[in-house]
Every structure is written in C-alpha cells, then in structure tokens.
A and B are shown apart, each in its own frame.
Chain A
Amino acid sequence: MENEASAIALEAHELTKIYRMGAVEVHALRGVDVEFRESELVVLLGPSGSGKSTLLNILGGLDTPTRGTVMFRGQPLRMDSERALNLYRRDHVGFVFQFYNLIPSLTARENVSLVTEIARNPMSPVEALSIVGLGDRLDHFPAQLSGGEQQRVAIARAIAKRPDLLLCDEPTGALDSKTGILVLEAILKINRELGTTTALITHNAVIAEIANRVLYFADGRIVEMRQNAVQRAPGELAW
C-alpha cells in the first residue's frame, strides 16, 4: 500500500488496437483503461493473445493505438509524431524483451553503451552491469553468456539510462526457474533502488507474487485487478 499515495506516472484511456490481417480484423485491445503510479511494480498476467504485449508496446511508444490516449506524467503522448514517440522512448522508457535482443556483435559493456551514448543522464555501463551482478562479465560477447546473463545484460541496458518506466515483456519466459529468479531479483532491485515504475508481463502466475499490483488480461481487456498485500521476494518463489 506504500505506493497508493504517490502520483500517477502513466495512464491510458480507452485504448483500442485493431490489427488487420488480410480480410480479418483482430481486436488486440478492446478499450483498456489503466494507470501506473510512480515506483509501482505491476505484473500483467494472462494467456497469449490476450493483449498484454500490445498494451505494453503502446505504453512504451513502440506501437500506436487505433483509438485511445496515453498520458505520461499528465502529458498526452503524441501518437501521430514519430519524433515525439522517439524522444519519449529515448528519455523515459527502458525495455526488456523475452529474447534479450542483444546485438551479437557487441560485448556486454558495449550493448549497454549503445543506450547510454544517447541518454541524457545515464549511469556508466559498468555501474549498470554491476547492479545486475555482471560487473565481472563486461567484455563478454552475448554468445559467451548464458541465457540468464544475457537477460541481465538486457536489463542493465534498459536501466542504464535511469528510465522512469521499465517495461519487461516476459523477461523470464526463456529461462529456467533458477535463472529466472536471478533476473527477477535484478528487476526488483532496480524498482526499489531507483524507484522506477515497472510493468512486467508474464504468463507465470507465481511471478505475480512479487508485484504491488496484478492485472489479469483476457481477450483484449483487463478482467481483474488485484492489489498484493505483501510483496514476496523472488527468492521465495518456485515454479
């Protein structure tokens, strides 16, 4: 309940997203209303195709909605401006993807500098990698790192710019539970230490235990919202 009093970082109203595939229209989002408070850790749960990723992409400025608005700190995102979205992503949002999406030709340190070079107030790549516990793997290429390590590099890359929002799409989806826990600990640490508003997609219900709040998705809508009374530490989880 500690976040209840804090300001709203991000809110969306009536978000609708329709994909057209040939003659068929796919409704990925059907009018979603949602808000995220500063420093909040929210988990988005739901089966595949329920609209979680679409929502996250739109919130992060990676995609545009068919209808609806997104407000960041009280200002609407200009969805029609490629430039505005780009600046929004550059200055405020950090992404973590299921498949890490590291640049294979760059070392861990260089993958992080790729982002810090264009950020306004970044931490050093070494610092970012130390936060995720990879201070000793700076000069390894992705191919020389395990899956969990790669994902932690991706997290370091996402947080090095000190983003206001950290958006993670199935960050543990490709990992075994032990490595997954390490990754979750890194995310939680950043959420706590930097106060980064964090949204995390998963379809693993157990992971929801670490959140302040859980949103349940089905068929393009939020069907249920649950406030966790207690946030559990990732180390206590098992799946």
Chain B
Amino acid sequence: MMSSLDRKLLRELWRLKAQVLAIALVIASGTALLIMALTTIEALEETTAAYYERTRFADVFAQAKRVPEHLGRDIAEIPGVRLAETRIVEGAILDMPGFAEPVVAQLLSLPERGPELLNALVIRRGRLIDPTRPNEVVVSEPFAEAHRLKPGDTFEAVLRGRKRTLHVVGTALSPEFVYAIAPGGLMPDDERFGILWMGHDALAAAFDLKASFNSVSLSLLPGTDEKDVIQRLDGILAPFGGIGAYDRADQTSNWFLESEIAQQKNMSRIMPTIFLAVAAFLTNMVMARLIETERREIGLLKAFGYGNLAIGWHYAKMVLVIGTIGVLIGSLLGAWLGHWNTELYTKFYRFPFLLYRPGPAGFVIAGAISLGAALAGSLAAVHRAVSLPPAEAMLPPSPPIYRRSWASRTALAGALDEPSRMILRRIIRWPVRAFLASLGLAMSMAVLIMALQWVDAIDSLAETAFERGQHQDATIAFNDLQPVDTVTDFENLPGVLSAEPYRHASARISHGHIVERQGIIGVPAGAVLSPVFDVERGRVEVPPGGVMISRKLAELLNVRAGDTVAVELLEDRQARVSLPVTQIFETYLGTPAYMDMAALNRIADDGRVVSGLHIRVDARSRENLLKRLKDIPNIASVLFRQAAIDTFYKTMGETIFIFIGFFVAFSVTLSVGVTYNSIRIALSERARELATLRVLGFSRWEISYILLGEVGILTWIAIPLGAAIGYGLAWYMTSAFETELYRVPLVLRDATYGEAGLIALTATLICAAVVRRRLDRLDLIAVLKTRE
C-alpha cells in the first residue's frame, strides 16, 4: 500500500514533468558523457589487449641490413625469449591504376611453411599467398578499400628498381599496423601508404637477401627483462647493420595507438569531469530553487507532526527519482554512445573485432556524482525549509524590503517605466540569486566554449604546423642514404622548383638514466622549405654545433638549454657522442630533435649524405613529375604536404571532432535544461504577483515582459561571464591536455564566443516562448484565491 506522501510525490513529479525532464536531461548529459568516455577507453584497451594476444603481437622488434639465416637460432636462444621469427621487410613504390601520385608500400615476408609464429595476420577476404607463386600478395584491408582492390586484381610495383606485376589474393589486418603510418608521416593515409605481404623466398629473391633476413620479432617469457634481451639482440645484429632493437612501446603503430588512448584518457578525464561538475552545480542550483517553492508544504507537513527526517526523506526521494531518471537516461545514452564511439574507433584503428563490455565502474562513478550533487543541492534547501518554525514556513515569505537606492534617483531611472523598474529592483534586491541564475547560464555557455575551442585549436595547430612551418609541396625519402649531389639531380627534374635536403638518423638520446628513442633530423644551414619552426618565434636557424630539442622532449629528458645529453646513433657506425642542448623550441606535434645537417653527418662519419629531400613543385608540371617519381629507384616514400593536411583533418574529423560534437550537443541540452527550469521556477515564484497584475489590467505581453525581461537581463549578464569562464576552462583544458603526440594551443576566435553566446540566447528565447504559453493560461481566479 503506497503511503499518501508517496502518492503526493508521484503526482507532483507528474505535474512537474517538463521540469523533471529538463533537470533529468542536465544530469543525463553529464552522466552520458562520462560514461561514454570511460567505457570507450575501457573498450579500446580491452580490444587492443585481446587483439594483441590472439594474434601473438611481438614484444621486441629489430631491423638490420642483412643477417645470415643461421643467426636466427642464436636469437631464439637469448634467455627469456619464447619465440623468435625472422623475416624480410622492405619498401617499394607502387603505381596504382587511376592514381597519379606514387604510393609507398611496406613489404613484409610471410613464412614459407606453416603459420606466422608472431604478428599473425587476420585474413579478411581471399586467402594467404601460395609460396610457389612469387607474384602473389596479401594487401592490408584499409589500403585495399582505399583503392577498391579485391582478390584477383593486379597492380604494378617497383621492387629494387625492377617493375613487377603483383596479384592480390587476399586482404588482411595485422596487429603491427593498427595505426598504419608511412615512415615520416603523422597520420594514417590509406591511399598513399599500403602494407603488402609476400612469400619469403619471393621477397628474398627480389631484394637479394637469399638465406638472410633483415627483421626479427621476439616474444618474451613473462617476467623477462626487456632491456637485457634488447642489449643481447643488439650485440648479435650490430655487425649486420642492426639499428637498435626496440620494445612494443616504441613500435610505431603501438606507440601511436597508446598515445591516442592516453590522449582519450586525458580528454575523458578532463572534459567530462568539468562537464559533470557543471551539470552537478546546475542540478544543485535548480533543485534548491525547486525546493524553495515547496516551503509552504514543508511547513504544513511539519504542522501535522511529520519529523524533519521524514520530510527530508520525502524530498530526497523526489530528488532521487529525478536523479535516477537522469542517470538512467544518461547511462543508456552513454553506453550507446560509448558503443558507437568505440565502433568508430575500431574502424579507424583497424581492429578486426570489437570488445565492448563496459564494467560497472564508469556507471557507478557517474551515477554517484550526479545523484550526490542533486541530493546535496536539494537537501540544503530542505534543511533551510525545515529549520523554520512551521508557522513561519506556512506563511508566504514576508514581502521583501525594497529600497530606493541612489540609482533610482538618477535621471535614467526616471525614464524607466514601472515594469522595467520591477525587473531591476528584483535583481538588485536579490543580487546573489540573480548572480547564481546568471552563473548557471554562464556555466552552460562556458562548457560550450570549451568544446568549440577545440575546433579553433586544431585549426590553429594545423595552420602552424603545415602552413607557417613548412613550405615544401612534397617530401621524398630514400631507401638508403644518398650522396648530397643527388639534390642537384632532383632539382633538374621537370617541375621541381627547388629542393632542400635533410638527414634523418634514428637515435637514442639520454640524460642521466632517462633514455628516449627519438630520431634526429639534420637540417641544412639556411633551410627555408622545412626549417625548425617555433610556434612563437617562427623560423629558427639551427646552430652549427649541438642539438636543438622540442620543449616536450626536454621535459621528458629533464634537460634545459645548456645541459649535455648523450646521443647514440642507431646506424651503421653506431656513433656515441655527448652534445650540448643549444636551444629548446616549442612545437605542437611530436617530440622532435634537430641538428645542423653537416654536424650530424660529421658525427655519423659517413660523408656528406642525405636521407631525403623537400621539394617545391610547379603545379603545371605536377603530373609529369609524379610519373617520373614512380620510376626512380631507391625512393622509399613520397609525402605530399596537402595530403598530410587533408589526412590530418580527416583523422580529426573521424576522432576528436565527433567527440567534440557530443560535447556541443550536450552543452546545448545543459543550457536548455537550466534556462527552462530557471524560467519555470521564476514563474511559480511569481505566479500570484503576475496574476494580480493581470487583474489590475496589465496585458499578457506586459506581464511576460516582467517575467521574461528578468531572464533576458540575466542572460545578457551571463554572456560575458560565460565567455570569461569558458576562456578559463579552455585554458585549463589545453594546459592539462598534453601528450607526446601533440599539444593543443589555446586559441579562441571571437566568432567562437559569438557562436556560444548565440546558442545561449537562442536557448533562452525558445524556453521563454514555451513558458510564455503558460503565462497566457494563467488562472487568475485560482491564483488569487489560494494562499495569502
């Protein structure tokens, strides 16, 4: 049997359904975002772990020039190694039908007999290669999709300067290329970079590596010291051009993947937390005001002999019902969005399957915070109401004492009509309440600004990195180091306006006991196409001696300008030197280190050589040049700046911008929820006064003006306030959001403030229009008849 109090509760909730829904939506927004973010990360991590385990993703990787096959056994006998698999990894340029630009491919050998021991392929279509047919290849699925390749198709490839026709027999996914990035690239570009798997013997024949290998993957026994294995492996490979083994953490795809997950984690920790805090504040505020309007009934219940606890519990139940509706909507929405979001990520990251099995943690955290905030806000108000003697609580609050302030004696005040005077006096009389109402609107606008800021920041990041910092049209990388004269050869190609060489060396940079595996880029003196670029100072000339490192790398290594770092080049001669850190510069992308090219060559001691070139291309002869490039041997990759910009935005569009989209949508919900409740509560507080005015002969529009004018003024106050808080939140976000992959600049366009302000105003207008319809239906007699 339901008690009368509970029945009252249910009927009240039904009567207030629009408000209940609005508050529930505010709570749901915060909850959904947090759940979405937390469960997405959980799912990504779980999917990654399961994928790596099922495909036996290796723990340690190493490349060399040419290692005799029999050394494979020595490697397998390194203590702690469970499995070792040798293979051939080479690069090639592909000429894809109907695609003008040369495509870069990485070729990997598959064992001649039996399944892959490590880094097993997941065949998506077709079959594995037949070892007896040397032209058969399995291609990576994203590449196949980008070029609409299916088993049975063929295309041309240049392997070591020899053109061959390759036959596609299957498409596959590999744990090594979850994030498939061309050497030197920043974002996956499935059109211009592909992975091909061929038979071991076929590759050995094509690259003259019979009875040899140039790449090895190891899996380790649990509890093995990776560093020890890497050291021993380096010892075995060093005489054969080994360039330093590395563990999973430094494997390109995994590094990007982990960075992205770390970034997601970072983002989901900061943004939804801020959002939930704002939602909690708003819930708190709205609930408190809702309870204020229940003051008389609380007095009445006390008069009947209901205890404070019983009354507190009654309202707690009301809040819990609203909160639970909010948390439920939020949980369902959050779980659905989380699933959807994870699905998106698995497509982007190329997982063959998706594990979305969110644990209870996210739901419990989000639910507890949301309900706690709602309870705290309302119980404070209930406490205020029950602490009044019932006789006083049942009376309407005594008429507030208004005063004629100095402002009301000014000429301006004289020009005001009475309704405007009423609005202003109310605001001046309860400045704290007015401020809180404004603050609520401002907070919802602030989170909107924080979300929209991302778009500005990423635009600015791309502009700084790709427009202001770089001026080349394409970057060519060679398979092997080339003599510096090669630059002239390329300058003479038709369509090349200018060429600028660079030298890249894989290296380990260490300071004290901190070691970072970080390539060093050698930049020629007077570089203009792709100089070192500081986000504030612009182009920076590289000093002739020492090494320049980016601020993030300096932080990782804990060095300052003037300190000395140990540099170990992971190349033929494996030079080890101590170098002074000459300068620290700021960049948004990666953790690069630069040296003067001549100085780098001197340390490496292999003559005047280059790793590649940046070129500027005459647009008119671009087609011709591209055709020529496809036939030039020894080119490992060609990266186009425009393509980099495009893929950058495409990637952002597929990941962060979608995330941001949710934030914008939820910020709008927040804004509507708060505004609607503010107006509805103002209406219930003032219904009597407004009805009296109607009886006195005021028109509907005039009383609407009195009610909504106040909300309007509070919204206007909220806009600059929201802009200021939004800037603060954006600042906090960008300073807290920093990964090795990229940093986000604090950039806020004026238009962003404008957009957020417009959205806030529109929300107010819509809510005002909805509430105004209630004003039209105000029951004059009923309002005046009840309570004094």
List the interface of chain A (C-beta within 8 A of B). 21-22, 57, 60, 62-64, 82-83, 86-87, 89-91, 93, 95, 97-99, 101, 103, 105-106, 110-111, 113-115, 117-119, 143, 147, 174
Contact = CB atoms under 8 A, between A and B. Distances in A.
B394 A86 contact: no
B391 A117 contact: no
Contacts of A22: 401
A24 B15 CA distance: 41
A83 B389 contact: no
A101 B391 contact: no
A157 B398 CA distance: 27
Main secondary structure of the interface of B (DSSP, over half): helix
Contact of A110 (B4, B306, B307, B310): B4
A106 B7 contact: yes
A91 B305 contact: yes
Nearest to A53: B391
B786 A99 contact: yes
Contacts of B398: 21
B296 interface: yes
A207 B788 CA distance: 23
Contacts of A21: 398
Nearest to B7: A110
B552 interface: no
6 contacts: A62-B390, A97-B394, A99-B787, A106-B7, A113-B4, A118-B304
B338 to A, nearest CB: 38
Given A114-B5, A115-B304, A103 B297 contact: yes
Contact of A86 (B11, B307, B392, B401): B307
A83 B307 contact: yes
B303 interface: yes
Given A82-B308, A99-B787, A106-B11, A62 B303 contact: yes
Interface residues of B, number: 32
Contact of A114 (B4, B302, B308, B392): B4
A86 B302 contact: yes
Given A62-B391, A63-B391, A64-B389, A101 B4 contact: no
Contacts of A105: 7-8, 11-12, 15
B391 A57 contact: yes
B405 interface: no
A90 B305 contact: yes
B3 interface: yes
A63 B304 contact: no
Contacts of A86: 302, 305-308
B474 interface: no
B481 interface: no
Contacts of A174: 785
A57 B310 CA distance: 22
B389 to A, nearest CB: 5
A34 to B, nearest CB: 18
A224 B304 CA distance: 31
Contacts of A60: 303
Contacts of B505: none
B153 to A, nearest CB: 72
Given A62-B394, A114-B4, 13 more contacts: A62-B303, A82-B308, A86-B307, A86-B308, A87-B305, A89-B303, A98-B788, A101-B300, A106-B8, A110-B8, A113-B3, A114-B304, A147-B785
A11 B613 CA distance: 105
Given A89-B305, A106-B11, A63 B4 contact: no
A172 to B, nearest CB: 15
Nearest to A110: B4
Nearest to A102: B300
B474 to A, nearest CB: 73
Contacts of A62: 302-303, 389-391, 394
A187 B607 CA distance: 114
A71 to B, nearest CB: 20
Nearest to B394: A101
A8 to B, nearest CB: 23
